[in-house]
Amino acid sequence: MSDGQSLQIAKEKKLKQLDDTIRALVPLATKSAEAKRSYRISYQKELLRLKADGTQAAIIESVCKGNEEIAKLEFDCSVAEANYDCAKENVNCLKLELRLIGEEMGREWSVAKE
């Protein structure tokens, strides 16, 4: 078993990591939303352009998604969303680690009281 002091230090370290990770979520969420917005706007503009050029309706979406600029924007959108999701998952992991440290601290306190 660990001593109470080292558990408290571990808890404080995890709380700092959690705080930093939560603060990092805001810019990641913003970047994800901006990437999605850019992709959707460009995608719609390209769809309208292809439609105006007389591209067949059956293939217009495939042709649009095959456009190099649109494909890059979709990729950027996916990467930004994945980064945001990873950060959210990291928050969940840190919360779990904190809960485990808290439980260990509770066991230490109950042993110390005996």
Q: Tell me: the pLDDT tens digits for 16-62? A: 999 999 999 999 999 999 999 999 999 999 999 999 999 998 999 99
Neighbouring CB atoms inside 10 A of 84's CB total 20
Which token pair is 85? 């999701």
Which token pair is 10? 């571990």
Distance CA 112, CA 114 (A): 6
pTM, full prediction: 0.80
Q: How confident is the model at residue 114 (pLDDT cuts 50, 70, 90)?
A: low
Residue 102 confidence (pLDDT) above 70:
yes
